[in-house]
Amino acid sequence: MPGFVPMNWTDDPVGISGSYRFEWTATRSKIGTVWSEFSAPVLWAKLGAAGADSADVEYVFQRSADSSAPSTPVTAQMKGFVPQGWTDDPIGVNSFLQYEWSVFRSKTGTVWSEYSTPVLWEKFGLK
C-alpha cells in the first residue's frame, strides 16, 4: 500500500536526542504494483552527531546521479576503512549528483561487521 507507514515509525528521519538515543530504518521496494515487505530494521543513527563515527560504529557515503542505490561495499578489518568510491563524510548533493547514500558498520569485540544496505542520506531539492 503506497504511503503506508507502520505505527511508531515515520517516513523521514526525525533525529536522535537524550530521550531517543537510537534511530532505525527499514526499506521496501515496489515491483509493478506489488510492494514488498519491509526489510529488517537496521541502525540509522546513534546518539552523537548524525553520520559521525564512534569507537564502534563507522559510516561512509557515496553520491550518485540516479535514484538506484549503490552496491553494498565490501568491508575490511581495520578502523577507519573507507571503500573505494565512498567518502568518510557526507559531501552533499547538487543538480548533477542528486542522491547521497550512506552505509554503516559496527564492531563487536575486535571484529567489524559487513556494511549495512545503502540507505538514502540526502536527495537534491528536499531540504
- Per-residue pLDDT of 28-39, as tens digits, reads 888 888 888 888
For the chain, the domains span: 22-123
Cα-based distances in Å from 60 to 31, 32, 38:
28, 31, 23
Please identify which residue in the block is written with the cell numbers 550518485: 64
CB 38 within 8 A of CB 28: yes
- Per-residue pLDDT of 99-116, as tens digits, reads 999 998 988 888 999 999
Q: What is the CA radius of gyration of the chain?
A: 15
The predicted pLDDT at position 2 comes to 59
- Per-residue pLDDT of 45-101, as tens digits, reads 766 555 555 567 888 999 999 999 999 999 999 988 999 999 988 888 899 999 999
